[in-house]
Amino acid sequence: MGKIIINESNPFFDVGGKEGDVMYNFRGNNGIKKGSMLYGKTVNLSEMYDNMLSDVKDFLFNGEYIKTVVNDGMDKIKYRLINMHINKKYGITIENVYNKIKGYGGDVTMTMDIIYNELKNKYGVNGVDWMYLYDNVDTFRVNDYEIRMYIGNRIISNEIYEYFVRTNGLRINNWFKNGDHNYLMLEWDIGNKNTILGSMVRNYNQWWQMMTINKKGRRYRGDIRDYDRVLRGRNVSEVFPVYCPVFKNLVLNYTKIDFSNGKNNIKKCSEIAGYSDKGETWSFASIDRIDSNKGYSYDNIRIISQYANHLKNVGNIDQLRRLVRYMDEQNSYF
């Protein structure tokens, strides 16, 4: 370490040697209580801050942070949990050290946006599992462009988007802010959609939660919201098929995005469904009651295409059989 040059007008010390090294003397007038590990000590502030960020990252991902945020309803003051955690270990908050490092004189209040940005700067955008936080923290919000793009691209890398990425060129173009909301700009070969990040379906579990929440005008599905009970130990693919069990060339769309660009998807399905020589198209995934005379229960449901469900719902089985006989008879004349 180089020679220490004391600057009496500033509690910082200029240190010759490694660039960025800053020595700081906690003289007892910086919110440091007697008995604290830092009281009266001269420390390498930048090194301590770097260690603090490592501790913050560990804290965010060790489960304790998530449990506290979710169970104690502290989602809107998440940064305070981090300050408390760091203060318990170091005797000073990360907010305090951040202000000293940046030379803000204690005027800046630590926020989650600042914490996320500092973690990104230390580890890189790919060095933090942002999806873990996004999936587990209610009202996860971040204004950093790179982090938002990272999350968006991770979402469309989920298998429920695979078909649309491969065949429709689904991609994320950009982000823009409108009022209090950050919008994700989705594009595909024949269309586009601006959507709020939180409205994008991430996986089968979230699709199930969205499809079983009670809404006005929808038959009651609240009794089957338990995702694990739906699976009952089975593989996800057994419960949530990629293709419709009725029409094998209809890909099930679990994303809730209309990739027909506003055109009638039912009509497209009617032209293709069941005809192996006409290629394939998609249909929204739909919860079907195996016995339409019974309600929604775990042993009376399956996932089929919206198109197949639409056909099934227009009549009972006897009526559909009559319709098929009629169509067969009419075709026999030609």
pLDDT in tens, 190-207: 899 999 888 899 999 999
pLDDT-based confidence at residue 226 (cuts at 50, 70, 90): very high
**Dihedral of CA 54/58/59/65: which sign?**
positive
Nearest to 200 by CA among 175, 183, 221: 183
Domain range for 252 is 204-331
**Listed residues 89, 112, 136: the one ending a domain:** 136
Higher pLDDT, 281 or 11: 281
The whole-number pLDDT of residue 140 equals 78
Place of tokens 């801050």: 49
Mean pLDDT of 135-146: 82
**Residue 41 is assigned to a structural domain of this protein:** yes
Nearest to 253 by CA among 279, 210, 212, 285: 285
- Whether the per-residue pLDDT at 77 is higher than 70: the answer is no
Order of strands across the sheet that contains 281-289: 250-253, 281-289, 301-305
Nearest to 25 by CA among 3, 2, 48: 48
**Residue 26 is assigned to a structural domain of this protein:** no
Indicate yes or no: pTM above 0.85: no
- Whether the per-residue pLDDT at 6 is higher than 80: the answer is no
Give the pLDDT confidence of 16-31 residue by residue, as tens digits: 334 445 777 777 655 5
**Residue 7 is assigned to a structural domain of this protein:** no
DSSP for residue 303: E
The whole-number pLDDT of residue 263 equals 75
Average pLDDT of the chain?
A: 82
**Residue 23 is assigned to a structural domain of this protein:** no
β-bridge pairing 22-25 and 12-15 = antiparallel
Place of tokens 């500092």: 118
**Listed residues 136, 168, 185: the one ending a domain:** 136
Higher pLDDT, 12 or 105: 105
**Residue 153 is assigned to a structural domain of this protein:** yes
Does one domain contain both 212 and 323? yes
The whole-number pLDDT of residue 264 equals 80
